[in-house]
Structure 1
């Protein structure tokens, strides 16, 4: 862990400046069905590009999967 790491789904990851940049770095280009929470607060998809991340932030990324 580095001082500027963030925690993503429980694992430490290198810093990314925004939610959108983090998703791109993780190869999550298909965002349909994705939800992102930053420090336990849901981030609207419309705000991913402008939501800044800081060292020590906790991010949860989940994808809805249909089925039955």
Structure 2
């Protein structure tokens, strides 16, 4: 199935959760990120249980340090 992550299209399996999607998008498990699906934040505790749907719009935000 096709999903959009940060305005880029990815092909994932028909049954794919957030954790699996992150493994496809990133080579290693990223730290300090937040995930939103269709403008709803998904708590990290739910990443294993949150199944993606075709055409989901996913935004990944990475925390940065600065000042």
Q: Do both proteins adopt the same fold according to a TM-score greater than 0.5, normalized to the shorter chain?
A: yes
Match of residue 18 from structure 1: 17
Matched-pair contact (CA < 8 Å) for 1:6–1:55: yes
Measure, in 2, the Cα distance between the counterparts of 1:14 and 1:20: 15
What is the TM-score when the length of structure 2 is the normalising length? 0.86
Please list every run of 5 or more consecutive structure 2 residues that lacks an aligned counterpart in the other structure.
none
Consecutive unaligned residues in structure 1, runs of 5 or more: none
Aligned residue number for residue 6 of structure 1: 3
Indicate how the Cα distance of structure 1 residues 28 and 36 shifts in structure 2: closer, same or farther if over 3 A, else same.
Answer: farther
Q: Is the 1:18–1:51 Cα contact (8 Å) retained in structure 2?
A: yes
Q: TM-score, normalised by structure 1?
A: 0.85
Q: How many residues align?
A: 64
